[in-house]
Structure 1
Amino acid sequence: MTELTVNSFSNGGANPAGQPFVPPAPVPRKNPVGRLELMRVVYRNPLELWGEPSYNEPWVEVNWIGMRTIIANDPALIRHVLVENPQNYPMGTVRQRVLRPILRDGLLTAEGITWRRSRKAIAPVFTPRHIHGFADAMLRSAQDFTTRYQIAGTVTDVSRDMTLLTYDILAETLFSGEIAGDPKEFARQTDRLFETMGRVDPFDLLGAPDWLPRLTQLRGRRSLGFFRSIVAQTIQLRKDRMDRGERVPNDFLTLLLQAETSPDKPDGLSRDEIEDNLITFIGAGHETTARALGWTLYLLAQAPSERAIVEAEIDAFMAGEGRDLPPHQWLEKLPLTRAAFEEAMRLYPPAPSINREALADDQFGDLNIRAGTAVIVMPWTIHRHRKYWDNPEAFIPARFHPQNRDKIDRFQYLPFGAGPRVCIGGSFAMQEAVIALAVLLSKHRFDMVGDAKPWPVQKLTTQPKNGLLMKVTPR
């Protein structure tokens, strides 16, 4: 087990003049750890597990509690697993044990025929035409949200705020504002759900039978019940309107209900599958964007020169063509703002791991991948890999400026995954993020309070431990 080692940490302190900001993150381990320490770290924060080889080698082979595991960093190997031979690499067992109790047969966890049926039903919502049509609602939601910062010097947890903002956007765009539940309670329950059920249970690592209760799942049942209740109420509200013959929005919810199984649609979605996919997008669909927005505001606050670049671009745009340009065009017109968001997702990928498991023996170059081998594609380590990035620990948005973007291999930057199971909402998230950042940063400046150094923790997403306490002042 040469991969696992004693942990030390970067301090994430202020950057010297002229030097890029290096945010806090675990420093690669150097010494092996035993089985008990492995389980403890994986439960507490898997980001603290990875050793030097994962940040330097194209792949690493380890034996974790009796299971051969390959950490895949090489872009060609990643392409092989996720794109060239995906049928041999279904979802990893441990990943499914964590996510299926929450999402069941939602798009992130379904496989085989169920996944293909759901993907086909959901795909029409995320065509460019539909995504562009959501832009006006995204803009209105972001503008309305900024009113909470009217009091100069507001101190707030921006991580929580971004959860509320992306919830508002999701409710307006995919559900036309007709989603049940109170936003504040929703945010609280989201945190609770991911704190409990959104992490690996030690029994999962040990391969314990499914009937054996998991402490993490037991602690999260109330939050999961809250989500299921929201979904049931939301579906019933829309279904009642449809049954009455009322005109309803042609949104995500309506499209799913139109795809429901019926005598003339025997291959449609069951009611349970509709609920599962709603939960997937209510929970995971906005959570990832919320975390990425929070990290972007934090990184810009700690890198004033980079923030000045983004603010200058936004100010010029808002004072010029942005006043009349449809918001769905903002993404291409604000490349430096987009670059800051992409660099934030490189350093703090919203989904930090992609877990697969080989069905049959496979070969990649001189790497033999036997059936049953776990294959982990880690955006967290790939995005910080020393072979593929210059100064990988530093916040340098210029990597993603238009003149540099093509230098990045498609499979060394994976914020939305790749292959058949690439995130279906990636374009939606990018449009949403740039519109939100443009509105927020045109009106306000965000600064960290005190000497707090937010620590990245992997749950379902990459979250800042104890939030992001920031002072928000008018610009």
Structure 2
Amino acid sequence: MDATPQPFIPPHPVPRTHVPSRLEVVRTVMRNPIELWGEPSYTRTHILARFLNETTLICNHPELIRHVLVDNQKNFRMARVRQLILRPILRDGLLTAEGETWRRSRKAMAPVFTPRHIKGFANMMKSRADDFLDRYRNRNEQVRDVAVDMTELTYEILAYTLFSDEVVTAGVDFADDVDRLLSTMGRVDPLDLLKAPEWLPRLQRVRGRATLAKFRKVVRDTMDARRAKRHESPDAVKNDFLTLLLDAEGPDGLTADEIEDNLITFIGAGHETTARALGWTLYLLANAPHERALVEEEIAQVLADGPPPVEWLEKMPKTRAAFEEAMRLYPPAPSINRMAVEDETITLKDGTRIDIEAGTTVLVMPWVLHRHRLYWDNPNAFMPARFWPENRDRIDRFQYLPFGVGPRICIGATFALQEAVIALALMLNEFRFEPTPGLAPWPVQRLTVQAQNGLPMRITRR
């Protein structure tokens, strides 16, 4: 008798079986874009179609994805709709900048995100995560919204490691304000889909302007405070991410506005992807006791052996695999949008020829790709063993894109993985997370894949 239980299949939209009307498309994209995709998106290697009066290419074939995002990425710039959503928030931050502006920012930040530098953050991550758990230690049992808690945890780790705890956040309720910002300004507006002029106000985003202004003030105050400290007590200034960006200011580096834009990118959104993935990981493990037991056993063994936290990522492959499987099922960034600059023809190795006209919207959708039936066995099931070391070679580099790929791959990917494993190890070694009655969170796409109405979970001491 097989003692391994059937894998847990978490909530997800059922693919459409009919072509939606124009009105249905608009309503669905406004409400929750990941509910739009139909059966062909999960079964075909690519789809070339007219979509809202423009040609759209949906890329699922790993070879095609590599061409668009790596081999000929210069012919595919950021799609207009994506920029209409993100640029009002991030302006020329790393996620939205293009061309020379993007290259300057990436070069300025690269030293902080080298493997050696990231390993240097491990003890700080452990210290801050351990401090965070004090809020769980004062009761034997409690119900908390884990989605909110993970937002606060990842922000506190980011503030400590990259900003030396010197982010000026007076008057900011961080988790609530991030949620308000993403639920207003981080949504597709009907005017975007209809290609209305940019000067026409998007009503949804008007509601988020006050929150965005609050975040912008946080960034400016933080920059001013650090500049003043550098002037008054230069020896007391830490050589952190904030210092690095301020040092890059100048005619051959970044402008003051670009520094502000990159700080708002990291403070307002940089931790958000890790927070969502951590919340989903805890939810998935809570509903898969067999998988949770494997992770808990691994964590207990490693912590008993006593290696420093910098070694946990390597020594806890099952913990890392659970986190990576959560990012497969609920990818933090569910869509990658590009637009073809010039006409071109792509011929795949199997002889398939794809003609792409200039102006074509090109979609690489991790949400669809990570659940595609051609590339994954039992694609809707939570099965962390896919990512165990002995199985990783079966996963094509271009069928799993939690951090993107190519020149614009997330600069903080290794930072996020290390942070996640350290946080999960501390949380799961000491506490048990259980679903509350009726908890079946619905995934909703904003900028990230969020759990509608949060993730209220019961937390007990182990």
> Scaled by the length of structure 1, what TM-score is found?
0.94
Q: CA deviation at 1:62?
A: 2.1
The 1-side partners of 2:173 and 2:106 are apart by 30
Q: Tell me which moved more, 384-393 or 63-72.
A: 63-72
Q: CA deviation at 1:45?
A: 0.2
The 2-side partners of 1:223 and 1:406 are apart by 44
Equivalent of 1:227 in 204, 215, 219: 215
Q: CA deviation at 1:244?
A: 2.1
CA displacement 1:148-192 (0-9 Å, x = unmatched): 112111100000000000010000000011111159701111000
The 2-side partners of 1:339 and 1:425 are apart by 18
Report the counterpart of residue 397 of structure 2 in structure 1: 410
| 1:23-172 mapped onto 2 (5 Å cutoff) | 23-150=10-137, 151-172=139-160
| 1:229-308 mapped onto 2 (5 Å cutoff) | 229-247=217-235, 248-261=237-250, 266-308=251-293
RMSD: 1.1
**In the comparison of the two structures, how many residue pairs are matched?**
453
Poorly superposed stretches of 4+, deviation over 6 Å: none
The 1-side partners of 2:329 and 2:98 are apart by 30
SS in 1 for 2:133: helix
| 1:145-224 mapped onto 2 (5 Å cutoff) | 145-150=132-137, 151-182=139-170, 185-224=173-212
CA displacement 1:309-343 (0-9 Å, x = unmatched): 000000111112xx2x2211110000000000000
The 2-side partners of 1:328 and 1:406 are apart by 25
Equivalent of 1:385 in 366, 372, 379: 372
The 1-side partners of 2:170 and 2:439 are apart by 30
Q: Percent identity?
A: 63
Report the counterpart of residue 314 of structure 2 in structure 1: 332
Structure 2's unaligned 5+ residue stretches are 348-352
Q: Is the 8 A contact 1:179 1:234 kept in 2?
A: yes
Q: Is the 8 A contact 1:300 1:307 kept in 2?
A: yes
CA displacement 1:299-318 (0-9 Å, x = unmatched): 00000000000000001111
The 2-side partners of 1:406 and 1:215 are apart by 47
The 1-side partners of 2:297 and 2:187 are apart by 40
SS in 2 for 1:352: coil
The 1-side partners of 2:373 and 2:18 are apart by 19
Q: Is the 8 A contact 2:89 2:185 kept in 1?
A: yes
The 2-side partners of 1:127 and 1:328 are apart by 14
SS in 2 for 1:406: helix
The 2-side partners of 1:81 and 1:100 are apart by 22
The 2-side partners of 1:182 and 1:355 are apart by 36
| Cα distance change, pair 184–145 in 1 and its aligned pair in 2 (3 A) | farther
Q: Is the 8 A contact 2:443 2:450 kept in 1?
A: yes
Structure 1's unaligned 5+ residue stretches are 1-15
Equivalent residue letter for 2:183: E
The 2-side partners of 1:229 and 1:186 are apart by 13
Equivalent residue letter for 1:188: D
Report the counterpart of residue 452 of structure 2 in structure 1: 465
Report the counterpart of residue 344 of structure 2 in structure 1: 362
Report the counterpart of residue 350 of structure 2 in structure 1: none
| Cα distance change, pair 182–448 in 1 and its aligned pair in 2 (3 A) | farther
| Cα distance change, pair 310–182 in 1 and its aligned pair in 2 (3 A) | farther
Q: Is the 8 A contact 1:232 1:275 kept in 2?
A: yes
CA displacement 1:258-306 (0-9 Å, x = unmatched): 0011xxxx22111110010001111221000000000000000000000
Q: Is the 8 A contact 1:339 1:398 kept in 2?
A: yes
| Cα distance change, pair 311–183 in 1 and its aligned pair in 2 (3 A) | farther
Q: Tell me which moved more, 420-429 or 182-191.
A: 182-191
Equivalent residue letter for 2:249: E
The 2-side partners of 1:144 and 1:103 are apart by 31
The 2-side partners of 1:127 and 1:250 are apart by 15
Equivalent residue letter for 1:465: Q
The 2-side partners of 1:328 and 1:67 are apart by 49
Equivalent residue letter for 2:342: A
Q: CA deviation at 1:243?
A: 1.6
Q: Is the 8 A contact 2:441 2:452 kept in 1?
A: yes
